[in-house]
Structure 1
Amino acid sequence: MASLKHISILFAGALCLLSFSGAAHAAAPQFIVEGAVFCEVCRTNFINKLSEPMPGATVRLECRGEEKGNLTYSLEGVTGIGGRYRLTVDGDHGDEQCEVTLVKSSRPDCQEIPNEGWAIKPSSKVIITTNSGFHDDIRHANPLGFTKKQALPKCVEFLKELDINSED
Structure 2
Amino acid sequence: MAKLMLLMVLCILPAIAMAARRPHIGRNTMVVKGRTYCDICKFGFETVESSYYIPGATVRLVCKDRKTMDENYRAETVSDEEGNYKFIVHEDHKDAVCDVLLVKSSDASCPKISPGREQSRVILNHYNGIASQVRYANNMGFEKEVSDVFCSELIKKYQVDEDDV
For residue 125 of structure 1, what is the amino acid of its counterpart? R
1:14-163 mapped onto 2 (5 Å cutoff)? 29-49=28-48, 50-115=50-115, 119=116, 122-163=118-159
In structure 2, C-alpha distance between the alignment counterparts of 1:34 and 1:139, rounded to whole Å = 6
In structure 2, C-alpha distance between the alignment counterparts of 1:158 and 1:79, rounded to whole Å = 27
- What is aligned with 1:9? none
- What is aligned with 1:5? none
- What is aligned with 2:7? none
Corresponding pairs, count: 138
Structure 1: gaps (5+ residues): 1-26
In structure 2, C-alpha distance between the alignment counterparts of 1:156 and 1:68, rounded to whole Å = 47
Q: Please give the root-mean-square deviation of Cα atoms over the aligned residues, in Å.
A: 1.6
- The structure with more radius of gyration: 1
- TM-score, length of structure 2 as denominator length: 0.78
SS of 1:81's partner is coil
Summarize deviations over 1:71-98 as a string: whole Å, max 9, x none.
Answer: 0100101000210011101200121100
For residue 40 of structure 1, what is the amino acid of its counterpart? D
For the structure 1 residues 112 and 130, does the alpha-carbon distance in structure 2 shift closer, same or farther, using more than 3 Å as the test?
same
Structure 2: gaps (5+ residues): 1-25
Retained in 1: the 8 A contact 2:43–2:160? no
Deviation of 1:28 (Å): 6.5
For residue 137 of structure 2, what is the amino acid of its counterpart? A
Deviation of 1:143 (Å): 0.2
For residue 128 of structure 1, what is the amino acid of its counterpart? L
SS of 1:161's partner is helix
For the structure 1 residues 163 and 94, does the alpha-carbon distance in structure 2 shift closer, same or farther, using more than 3 Å as the test?
same
SS of 2:156's partner is helix
In structure 2, C-alpha distance between the alignment counterparts of 1:73 and 1:137, rounded to whole Å = 18
